[in-house]
Structure 1
Amino acid sequence: MDLTLREAALLMDVNERTLRDRLRRGDLRGSKVGGRWTVRRADLPLTEDQRSAVFARARRVRDSVDGALASALGGKRRRSALDLEPFAATVALRREIAAGTDGSLACVLTCLDRALDALARGAHEWAGDRKRDGFLDARLHLSRAVARLAIQPDTQGDGPGGAWVDRLEQVVLPSLGGLVRWSERLDERRGAAR
């Protein structure tokens, strides 16, 4: 794994300038990519104390992320997609649509199934950018479900189609937007913790 000069300096607990000098002298192997030094992690001469410090920092970051996850999800440490409001609301809506139709809304059910898959992926990913991608995929599939419901004849009046669209647009999609924003902030916090 290639590290930037800054990342390598943090791991070795030395100044970037010191590390740059060692690279120029050839005391440490590295290469320049786009005018910037990179160092393979395997080439770093870490002492046992430095390795312990790296693991301690990683543990602190992991604990920080777990704490952020707990506060974002209501103070409890939750690991299940079932605990996410948009997931639970989509499951309930999917069950209602499946029970209330004669199979004519199979395309809507498919969109909801794909949204649930993407929500679960986002809930279980560790990296904030992959979490966000899962949540954004879920948003896309939920938007498709709205579009498919909107073209149904009973959507215009007080029929169930209109109520389903309202639930998607007024409950599920806004809470999913909150998860997207949370996953973006998660990456920012992780970057600041390094």
Structure 2
Amino acid sequence: MKLQLALDLVDIQGAIELVKEVEEHVDVVEIGTPVVINEGLRAVKELKAAFPNLTVLADLKIMDAAGYEVGQASAAGADIITILGAAEDESIKGAVAEAKKLGKQILADMIAVKDIAARAQQLDELGVDYICVHTGYDLQAVGKNSFEDLSTIKSVVKHAKTAVAGGIKLETLPEVIKQQPDLVIVGGGITGKEDKKAAAREMQALIKQG
């Protein structure tokens, strides 16, 4: 089980400062979609240059032209690139093929997927590396979480690793750990804290205990 830090509401310099605080307690740094929209793939490039030993995920939420976009993110230094689980099968295949060629990984984000079990099974067969259950900001605002969907995915997936994102905090982390996802993705649960390093350290300790 690894801890991924999601960076959404920062600029490049802010992201670098934040990661400096917590780098020894996280495994993956995610350049969130808002950062990519605001700063472009330069954000991925600069974070990878600043922290070459950390795994960097580019949260592009690819929907089309997947092979090309994976290639661009890879050239910028991304180790893992996200595609939407709702994308066409041809797009998923294109993303997976390009990533394999470049030695990168694909995470399929299940945000807005209606039939989680069926789609997870298909994505697993299409060869994605991770399948991520994700309660987005807009659903978190009305009290939803992804923990139930995680157990659904774990019950059908044979090859892909699993990831969970959306509103995970120190208080809810034990519930997540029980289901043993491969990747636990935390944003505000770390970035919103006064002492970010302490929050990341506590979360990492819980994850390591498993």
TM-score, length of structure 2 as denominator length: 0.26
More helix by share: 1
TM-score, length of structure 1 as denominator length: 0.27
More strand by share: 2
Q: Which protein has the larger Cα radius of gyration, Structure 1 or Structure 2?
A: 1
